[in-house]
Amino acid sequence: MAPRTLGIEEELLLVDPRTRRASARAPQVLKAFREHGPGRRVATAATDEIDQELFRHQLEVRTDPSADATALHAQVIAARRTAGGAAEAVDLALAACGIVPAGYEEVAVSPRDRYRDMVDTFGEVARTGGTCAMHVHVGVDGDEEGVAIIDRITPWLPVLLAISANSPFSSGRDTTYASWRQQVWSRWPSAGPTEQFGSAARYREVAQTMLRSGAARDEGMLYFDARLAARHPTVEVRVADVCTDPEDALLVAVLVRALAETAARAAAAGTPAPRWRAESVRVAQWRAARYGLAGQLVHPQTQELAAATQVLADLVTEVRDALEEAGDTDRVERGLARVLAGGGATRQRAAFERTGSVEGVVDDLIARTRASWSTSEWEADASAAAGA
């Protein structure tokens, strides 16, 4: 059986490298991209496109669906190259980080009616919601399979948050959290873990109740940790911080796929979904956000505290068949060893120790994000445009 397709969406910060503050100049970046960069051509792939996000200090990039993890990794790099070249064309830099570390030049909403309405409706929750996440889409065979997957993978999602945690600094100080983004994001009324649905009909019932209540203005604002995607035949997992290292992003993505495949097989075999409550998952999520992989995690199978190394080992055991069949086992084992040695939050704190300032953390984020892509294609396009 062919592996399920994966897709990745990343939200990235725009930073002024002189002030190290988030810069609300996404409109200028998008204008330069359309007029002088690759955006002047008809896009041939999702990685040729960039889009605005809720705030003007953010950009969104995405990949096309792919069943090949190596190809997906290349797409993540290509998408960052597209956005990074556009940012540098107006003297800005990209930072792949879950939240703004050193403050803003200004907080400005992107010029889209939907975004303005979100801020008008949700007030301060929306105005402080400029966080950057990574969303992973995994292909499913219809809504019933998708809901069966959501009902089974939810207890494991805090572990994915811990793996990706990449937002310890906010407003110029260490929050003491590995993922402060998750704490800020959880303020949205529709965000967070869900109870088990049991069927696609029940999922749609819950979604309609939330829409009627005003907790979400449209389906795109159903910010469940895992949801049925509105426009794609996928389950969308939304718990991860955006990762500075594309290898970390790919690690999370292939683990999502392995969890989804394992859950789908259990559902097809008639194996009942394990019972759990949303309160328990919220506790596990808080602990993952607070400590990342540096402390104990709530074990998804026992609901007891356990060493992060043990939880990750049991995760691999849980999904090993799916990993082996997709050819992802070696990548996952290497990746878990890497993040246990030092994930995104650890790397940011190490930069603070080296430099003594949050500005030094931002410099490190810019440098490591820049190192994850090459601007050669953009520069060739820009040179050709200048000579035209």
Listed ranges 54-58, 111-115, 217-221, 263-267; the one with the highest mean pLDDT: 263-267
Q: Confirm if 343 and 292 have CB atoms less than 8 A apart.
A: yes
CATH number of the domain that residue 156 is part of: 3.30.590.20
- 386 part of a folded domain: no
Q: Is the pLDDT of residue 350 over 90?
A: yes
- 382 part of a folded domain: no
- 367 part of a folded domain: yes
- 361 part of a folded domain: yes
Query: Amino acid identity of 18?
Result: R
Cα-to-chain-centroid distance, residue 386: 36
Looking at the structure of the chain, the number of domains it has is: 1
The pLDDT, as a whole number, for residue 383 is: 42
The pLDDT, as a whole number, for residue 55 is: 79
- 161 part of a folded domain: yes
Q: Give the DSSP letter string of 30-82.
A: HHHHHHHSGGGSPPSSGGG--EE-SBTTEEEEE---BS-HHHHHHHHHHHHHH
Q: Which of 255, 250, 240 is nearest to 372 (CA)?
A: 250
Pairing state of beta strands 305-307 and 133-139?
unpaired
Report the percent of the chain where pLDDT is more than 70: 94
Crossing angle between the packed helical segments 308-326 and 157-164, to the nearest 10 degrees: 100
- 388 part of a folded domain: no
What the block records as the tokens of 211 is 């829409």
- 384 part of a folded domain: no
Q: Is the pLDDT of residue 386 over 80?
A: no
Q: What domain range includes position 13?
A: 6-377
Q: Is the pLDDT of residue 56 over 80?
A: yes
Distance CA 91, CA 386 (A): 17
- 329 part of a folded domain: yes
User: What's the whole-number mean pLDDT along residues 350-355?
Assistant: 98
Distance CA 257, CA 273 (A): 18
Tell me the pLDDT tens digit for each residue of 290-348: 999 998 999 999 999 999 999 999 999 999 999 999 999 999 999 999 999 999 999 99
Give 312's contacts (C-beta < 8 A, 6+ positions apart): 159, 163, 293, 336, 340
